[in-house]
Structure 1
Amino acid sequence: MVVPKSPEKKLPQNLCLEARLSPNPSLSQNSGGLKHSSSNGSFSSVTSLELRPQEFSETDALLPNELYGGSRFSRSLSSKDPEGSSGPEETVCSMVLQILVPFLLAGFGTVSAGMLLDVVQSWDVFQDISEIFILVPAVLGMKGNLETTLASRLSTAVNAGKMESSREKWLLIVGNLALKQLQATVLGLLASVMATLLGWMAEGQMSLNHLVLLCSTSLSTAFVASLLQGVIMVGVIIGCKKIGLNPDNVATPLAASFGDLITLALLACFSQWFYSFMEFYPYVLYLVDLFYLCLIPVWMVVSSKHPASLILLRTGWEPIIAAMLISSVGGLILDKTVSDPNLAGIIVYAPVINGVGGNLISIQCSRISTDLHLNYSTRGIPEGHKVCLNPFYTFFGSGANHRSAQVLLLLVLPGQLIFIHVIHLMKGGLTLPSPLFTVFFLSASLIQVFLLLCTADCMVHCLWRRGKDPDSYSIPYLTALGDLLGTALLALVFVTLWCIGDTGNV
């Protein structure tokens, strides 16, 4: 989303009268932004007052007074929609084209991840330590949450003109990358402990060696994958800015799932490698854990250098920890399903249904968040979103975000048909998908995305109204909810098909 050029934008009621925009047409001639100068050359009170919140919140440090600097997108402008917010001159065709390519690429990544998981499930470490299946959705979900929140925050900053200054740009990037490494380390440790506890609750036994191996695997996977994909994501966002693409449409789907294959490959390799040390050289695993824990103070110091990452360092733990716990429950469902030979084929399709849901909902969250950052003061929301609305309004209201919800929902069926066909061609399943399985799978995916889009429309606006940054809060909750819904619905599909005797893919 971009900064509107129209000078008639309504300001919140709690601003003083001097903050009202003048109808003088000369104000709209200043480089497409709301930043304009008075006769003595200083910035008018519109900028200084509108961006001076009454309270200090997570959103303040991310988009300070330079918010309305003209980025490439802020030079592509449009008129105000009926809700009172502005959107870019983005046609439905342009939106689909920008979303489709990264969506398909990310989808192929999830297909490859599913096939890889189908192969590695026969490895010794996966056979002897079943808790790894609980760890898989938690680590993949954690990686996706950290990448998508990073991509969403930086996309908002790009569209807001926050990366025009080279010094400010690199301070923002380095602070966010250091914060992400800290979060990956802490969440990797918590995910391994959670997987061990859930495995103990399910099977009634706990092994210290298994816990240490899970910790080493989770920490190593989270650290390496987070660092590698974080650097790639920064390059993607900067590249989108240079060539004039909206990073909200491109960066978040790539961040959500294109790294699933890399993350899963790292998890499988690290787990098998550490498994080979566990019997004769167990001290290696303890040294690995100690190494990553010793890096925590370094990441804390670096991330505290920038105000945006400092705020998240203090307040941004709740959503990602809660999301990790939710994803772990989905992992427990996956573990129990895979252990049944009649339902073993689910392992191929679980990353696909979860990845597609995560891709699409991340796009919508990022777009709504950008619109709120650019068009409304903190705690100020569109008139129609004072309360959670019915699903009809999510898809058929006015504004670009409602059109994007329609586009994203319509992408589910053709996208999943393509991915099922690719799985069939690459022989990822146990048998050929039956027509009944295809119908059930598509229905489950459609229900999942529909519920996520409706929840996102309500959650993002509620978080903004409470002074929380949706870029950092909404995506972890929604992607974790998508993992839980996707795994549960897919398990229901396989159980239903097995009960009615359809052996097309069960």
Structure 2
Amino acid sequence: MRGDTSPADGDKLGREAPIPRQLQQVQDDDLDPDSVKRHEEDDDDDDDADEGRDEEVAGLVPRLSDEEERSARRARNEGGAKLGRATTTYREGDDDYDDEDHLNHVEDGGGSRSPFADRREQRARRRKPAGVLATIWAIAREALPTLAISVLSLVFSGELLIHLARWPVFVKVDKLFILVPILLNLKGNLEGNLSLRMSTSANIGELDIRRTRETLIFGNLALLQVQALIVSLFAGILASVLGVIGGLGGASEGPKTAQRRGFGALLTKRRVIHHHPAPSDPSMRLRNSYFEFVLVIATGMLAASMSSAILGSFMCALVVVTRQLGGNPDNIASPLAGSLGDLLTLTILGLLGSFLVRFEGTILATLILLALAAACACCFFLAYRNAYVRELLSSGWIPLVVAMFISSGAGLVLDAFVQRYEGFALLVPVATGLPGACSAIFVSRISTALHSGKGVSSSLSHSSSSTLISALRDILKLGPTEGWIVPATLFTIGAGIEVLFLVLVWVTGQMSFGWPFAITFVITSGLIVAASLYISHLITLFLWSRDYDPDIYCLPYVTSLIDVIGQILLVVAFATATVLGDQITAAVNDHQKP
């Protein structure tokens, strides 16, 4: 025990033997009875902390429930209760958490304040509050490059999707092409949630302790594998069903598919006239069969697993490195999760599909499916043993399904107007993807502030038992959690990048338009970005007020709503410019014409 250490033991350790904390504090307080009682209660808390550390050594790191955790963090940030660990609200000097002396202090039950925490407090007192320009620069220098990379990833993903549509595997197995939007939507939300959780853990100090950091990272990666394999299985089944229905009805065929069917019908008539037997086509023989069904599911699950392993490891490393370098992961991790995830998943899906389609009709896809099922079970077991992510195995599934159906509305809008307005498909990824990236940054920052006990968290914590109408009324009265500087900066960056992208496509000759469309697009872009930020603010605070963690539930709702709203407003921009007499043409449409 910590209080039984002898002076000789202290000499062996090379430092002075510790004095029992209760006796030392009683002497300092001149034997005040109230102080003695308070210190005895602190010792009881230390005993509970020791038990928690025993579980941590066994690989089961205990985590408080949501309400207790929030209260504890608020108490620490307000200078209240100490939970046997150093205060983690300051960023300077966070590398001290990996110092061996500090780890020994924590493992020895450090009930008193750490000297590293005291040093951070002294630095915080010496720091002057950041001005408006300094705050704007701190956000812009991290968010602007990240959002620019997101736009490039979105553009490359769109170009890659156009090329993948011509690959033989997607021509032969059209259900793989149906799988693409469903899989990207579900996986993008999973990786976005991972970036939110890791950013929040970094900013509240959970990643500053080596043992906790390793437990969190391995647990989240195992959880991500389970979620990716399950959602890809669901996406593969849904794509196969939609493919069969579309093949029977022909209602959901794209231009290429319709063209192929037209040529096929023409050749069939010629064979009937001349009485030539139809040649045997293995691809037609296996269409809608068991082998094609397993091929679609195995390809989707394997692509989802590989991309999740690569991107999940990259996102965790990015958050840790950003934290160690003094940056804010909220401004960097969330926007990159979805955009890079789409590009990586599309690439892996195309390569795997091209390889596995050569073995269609064999048991290779079945063996891969069985191996992935075993891997999912192993990852589930690892995630269940990890107390940090155990509760996440059964939560967060409803937002994914709801978001998928909401995004289907965006798909209907795209299908209805992509042929009517030239250049619509070229602007949609940026017009909806960039506001989604801005909202991801805003949601991540709000969630971090709420988990840290800042802003409006104390006023919202008591509204979980109130009615839905009263909770919404209270939220509508609240301003931004971190003030108006953050949303104003994100709005300026997001709207500015969209305007620059429009200028770029005009200069390069990808689109040709006049001033009416330019003005309507600028206004529409501003409205989309503003709507995305306001929706993020409302949904995040509402979920927090109803005792739901925004890191798990918020992002799927926000991104799916932005997809629908963004495409509707973009249609309004095209329609308004057309009514005003503007002629909008796109080079990509000219290339597609026969």
Per-residue deviation at 1:456? Answer: 1.7
The answer as to whether partners of 1:106 and 1:257 remain within 8 angstroms in 2 is yes
The answer as to whether partners of 2:517 and 2:577 remain within 8 angstroms in 1 is yes
**Pairing partner for 2:329 from 224, 231, 247:** 247
Residues 133 and 295 of structure 1, relative CA distance in 2, 3 Å threshold: same
**Pairing partner for 2:406 from 323, 326, 330:** 326
The aligned residue for residue 221 of structure 1 is 303
Per-residue deviation at 1:303? Answer: 1.0
Which digits, 9 at most, give the CA deviation of each residue in 1:208-264, with x for residues without a partner? 465444323321221111111111111111111111011111111122323332222
The aligned residue for residue 565 of structure 2 is 485
**Distance in 2 of aligned mates of 1:460 and 1:414:** 25
**Distance in 2 of aligned mates of 1:228 and 1:372:** 30
Residue type of the alignment partner of 1:305: R
Per-residue deviation at 1:352? Answer: 2.4
- Structure 2 residue 349 is matched with structure 1 residue 271: no
Give me the TM-score of the superposition, normalised by structure 1. 0.75
**Distance in 2 of aligned mates of 1:267 and 1:426:** 31
The answer as to whether partners of 2:512 and 2:584 remain within 8 angstroms in 1 is no
**Pairing partner for 1:69 from 85, 88, 111:** 88
Which digits, 9 at most, give the CA deviation of each residue in 1:450-474, with x for residues without a partner? 2222222121112112211111110
Structure 1 segment 366-385 matched on structure 2, within 5 A: 366-375=444-453, 380-382=458-460
Which digits, 9 at most, give the CA deviation of each residue in 1:313-346, with x for residues without a partner? 12232222322333344345545666x4x55754
**Distance in 2 of aligned mates of 1:88 and 1:301:** 48
Structure 2 counterpart SS, 1:122: coil
Residues 249 and 67 of structure 1, relative CA distance in 2, 3 Å threshold: farther
Moved more, 380-389 or 260-269: 380-389
- Structure 2 residue 352 is matched with structure 1 residue 288: no
Structure 1 counterpart SS, 2:484: helix
The answer as to whether partners of 2:450 and 2:457 remain within 8 angstroms in 1 is no
Residues 475 and 90 of structure 1, relative CA distance in 2, 3 Å threshold: farther
Moved more, 147-156 or 323-332: 323-332
Residues 335 and 450 of structure 1, relative CA distance in 2, 3 Å threshold: same
The answer as to whether partners of 1:157 and 1:163 remain within 8 angstroms in 2 is yes
Residues 93 and 212 of structure 1, relative CA distance in 2, 3 Å threshold: same
The aligned residue for residue 155 of structure 1 is 199
Structure 2 counterpart SS, 1:326: helix
The aligned residue for residue 440 of structure 2 is 362
- Structure 2 residue 210 is matched with structure 1 residue 166: yes
Which digits, 9 at most, give the CA deviation of each residue in 1:151-200, with x for residues without a partner? 11111111111112211110011001110111011111112223344455
**Distance in 1 of aligned mates of 2:368 and 2:310:** 19
Residue type of the alignment partner of 1:330: A
Which digits, 9 at most, give the CA deviation of each residue in 1:398-451, with x for residues without a partner? 652532222222222211133345556777x5x546555544544444333322
The aligned residue for residue 391 of structure 2 is 311
Residues 449 and 380 of structure 1, relative CA distance in 2, 3 Å threshold: same
Per-residue deviation at 1:119? Answer: 2.6
**Distance in 1 of aligned mates of 2:410 and 2:169:** 21
The answer as to whether partners of 2:195 and 2:315 remain within 8 angstroms in 1 is yes
The aligned residue for residue 428 of structure 2 is 350
Residue type of the alignment partner of 1:185: L
Residues 391 and 160 of structure 1, relative CA distance in 2, 3 Å threshold: closer
Gaps of 5+ in 2: 1-37, 49-63, 74-82, 95-119, 250-286, 464-469, 590-594
Residue type of the alignment partner of 2:386: H
**Pairing partner for 2:144 from 100, 113, 121:** 100
Residue type of the alignment partner of 2:187: K
The aligned residue for residue 472 of structure 2 is 388
- The aligned length equals 449
Moved more, 491-500 or 232-241: 491-500
Per-residue deviation at 1:44? Answer: 11
The answer as to whether partners of 1:274 and 1:285 remain within 8 angstroms in 2 is yes
Per-residue deviation at 1:78? Answer: 9.0
**Distance in 1 of aligned mates of 2:71 and 2:239:** 34
Residue type of the alignment partner of 1:472: I
Residue type of the alignment partner of 2:498: Q
**Distance in 1 of aligned mates of 2:508 and 2:325:** 34
The aligned residue for residue 207 of structure 1 is 288
The aligned residue for residue 258 of structure 1 is 340
The answer as to whether partners of 2:423 and 2:585 remain within 8 angstroms in 1 is no
Per-residue deviation at 1:351? Answer: 2.9
The answer as to whether partners of 1:134 and 1:331 remain within 8 angstroms in 2 is no
The aligned residue for residue 234 of structure 2 is 190
Per-residue deviation at 1:366? Answer: 0.7
The answer as to whether partners of 2:193 and 2:552 remain within 8 angstroms in 1 is yes
Residues 195 and 440 of structure 1, relative CA distance in 2, 3 Å threshold: farther
**Pairing partner for 1:464 from 511, 533, 544:** 544
Residues 195 and 149 of structure 1, relative CA distance in 2, 3 Å threshold: same
The aligned residue for residue 499 of structure 2 is 417
The answer as to whether partners of 1:237 and 1:247 remain within 8 angstroms in 2 is yes
The aligned residue for residue 112 of structure 1 is 156
Structure 2 counterpart SS, 1:400: coil
Residues 490 and 452 of structure 1, relative CA distance in 2, 3 Å threshold: same
Residues 377 and 495 of structure 1, relative CA distance in 2, 3 Å threshold: closer
- Structure 2 residue 187 is matched with structure 1 residue 143: yes
Structure 2 counterpart SS, 1:388: helix
**Distance in 2 of aligned mates of 1:444 and 1:68:** 45
The answer as to whether partners of 1:216 and 1:285 remain within 8 angstroms in 2 is yes
Residue type of the alignment partner of 1:96: A
Residues 321 and 155 of structure 1, relative CA distance in 2, 3 Å threshold: same
Which digits, 9 at most, give the CA deviation of each residue in 1:33-81, with x for residues without a partner? xxxxx87895899xx9xxxxxx9449859998559435526858599xx
The aligned residue for residue 447 of structure 1 is 527
**Distance in 2 of aligned mates of 1:407 and 1:177:** 32
Percent identical across equivalent pairs? Answer: 28
Q: Which has the higher contact order (CA 8 A, sep 6+)?
A: 1
**Distance in 2 of aligned mates of 1:285 and 1:412:** 43
Residues 259 and 63 of structure 1, relative CA distance in 2, 3 Å threshold: farther
**Distance in 2 of aligned mates of 1:41 and 1:384:** 27
**Pairing partner for 1:179 from 223, 229, 232:** 223
**Distance in 2 of aligned mates of 1:128 and 1:490:** 34
**Distance in 1 of aligned mates of 2:200 and 2:224:** 17
Residues 218 and 145 of structure 1, relative CA distance in 2, 3 Å threshold: same
Gaps of 5+ in 1: 1-37, 49-54, 80-85
Which digits, 9 at most, give the CA deviation of each residue in 1:6-25, with x for residues without a partner? xxxxxxxxxxxxxxxxxxxx
Which digits, 9 at most, give the CA deviation of each residue in 1:97-119, with x for residues without a partner? 22111111111111211222233
The answer as to whether partners of 1:179 and 1:303 remain within 8 angstroms in 2 is yes
The answer as to whether partners of 2:513 and 2:584 remain within 8 angstroms in 1 is no
Which digits, 9 at most, give the CA deviation of each residue in 1:275-306, with x for residues without a partner? 4444xx45333333332222111111111222
